[in-house]
Amino acid sequence: MKKSNYNFFFPLEDGNYLAFNALKNGLAVIDVELVKAVEKLEPGEIPGLEDEMVKELARGGFICEDDFDKYGLLTIRRHTQQYAGGSLGLTIAPTLSCNLDCRYCFENPGKEIMNETVIKGLTDFIKGYMESGIKHFDATWYGGEPLQCMDIIERLSREFIAIASEYKVHYSAYIITNGTLFTRSTAERLKELQVRGAQVTIDGPREIHDERRPYYGGAGSFDHIFTNLKEAVGVIPISLRTNVDTLNVKEVLKFYRELEAEAWFGQNLGKMLNVHYGYVRKFNSSCKCSKEENLKAGDFYKCQLDIQQGKNTIPG
């Protein structure tokens, strides 16, 4: 295998590095030893790393097979963009920090905030990509909790809007937030910045949600999120997500049937407000949930269909 020529490593304050691969848009936080292992990899060598790590590095584009034809890939991309109205889609995390301590979280939250080096590298990359003749540029704000860095979102959004205007590219954005900071005024600012929708998570009624998605320190987050939703609904479309496992699946249907009776919810449902369900499963060793709490895949999809159809045939 060999290292990619499109790797960029940006030092973070904690001694780790933010790794970005411009060919496949791979993004990861890695330690200095892994940076060294990738950088010294020469064609034909076998990485001295665990198989799972090699797979993850290859998936992100940081290493590749010796016969990988990057020029062929770029040619295909250029033709696709030229003849099929190509697009650029980026998921951007202005911070890895989060204010909630969700029981099933798969991330290892840190305190890193996007620094000037990363901001410049990101905007330079986008400008370079625009020159290939794309028609659409879509950004998804992610985290951590991205609204903890609203100043960075606003700054970068205005830069993206200006770049897109210069190249006559259609720009829009989306945000995935836990909802604790998603006030009406914030929603209005996001709308001005061409954010076309938001995903907010509530995992059921107060007592269940607060046990699953508390603030660090243990305080409940339900009331803050619920109040924000009621005030922000109608500003931009909201996708209300509920993460489902064996611990809350029985309460989900009842919770939404009760919500539909509330005017603000019922009047916006299917218009500016939609509901969808997330399948909680143990992705990796960082996930805090246990496999015993996860529904079997077949049960989850059956439950999802039953909930959507208003049935109450949830297995117990």
- Tracing tokens 């919500």 back to the chain, one arrives at 259
> Given 3-state DSSP classes, what are the helix, strand and coil percentages for the chain, each rounded to the nearest 5?
40, 20, 40
Closest by Cα among 234, 179, 208, 238 to 104: 208
Reported as a single tens digit per residue, the pLDDT across 41-98 is: 888 887 788 888 888 898 888 988 877 655 555 554 555 555 445 788 999 999 989 9
Percent of the chain residues topping a pLDDT of 90: 44
**Confidence (pLDDT) at 50:** 84
Q: Does residue 313 carry a pLDDT above 60?
A: no
Distance CA 128, CA 36 (A): 27
**Confidence (pLDDT) at 70:** 59
H runs (alpha helix) in the chain: 32-39, 51-59, 70-84, 116-130, 150-166, 184-192, 206-212, 222-232, 249-260, 263-268, 297-308
Percent of the chain residues topping a pLDDT of 70: 86
**Confidence (pLDDT) at 77:** 53
Q: By three-state DSSP, how is residue 272 classified?
A: coil
Structural domains of the chain, ranges and CATH numbers in brackets: 1-68 (no CATH), 78-308 (3.20.20.70)
- Asked if 143 contacts 93 with a C-beta cutoff of 8 angstroms, the reply is yes
Between 175 and 79, whose confidence is greater? 175
pTM for the predicted model, two decimal places: 0.71
Closest by Cα among 129, 69, 93 to 19: 93
**Confidence (pLDDT) at 231:** 96
Distance CA 3, CA 42 (A): 7
Distance CA 60, CA 72 (A): 18
Q: By three-state DSSP, how is residue 258 classified?
A: helix
Dihedral sign computed on CA atoms, order 77, 80, 82, 88:
negative
Q: By three-state DSSP, how is residue 74 classified?
A: helix
**Confidence (pLDDT) at 146:** 97
Q: Using pLDDT thresholds of 50, 70 and 90, give the confidence band for residue 119.
A: very high
Reported as a single tens digit per residue, the pLDDT across 238-278 is: 999 999 888 888 888 788 888 888 999 989 988 999 988 88
- Give me the mean pLDDT over the 158-176 stretch: 96
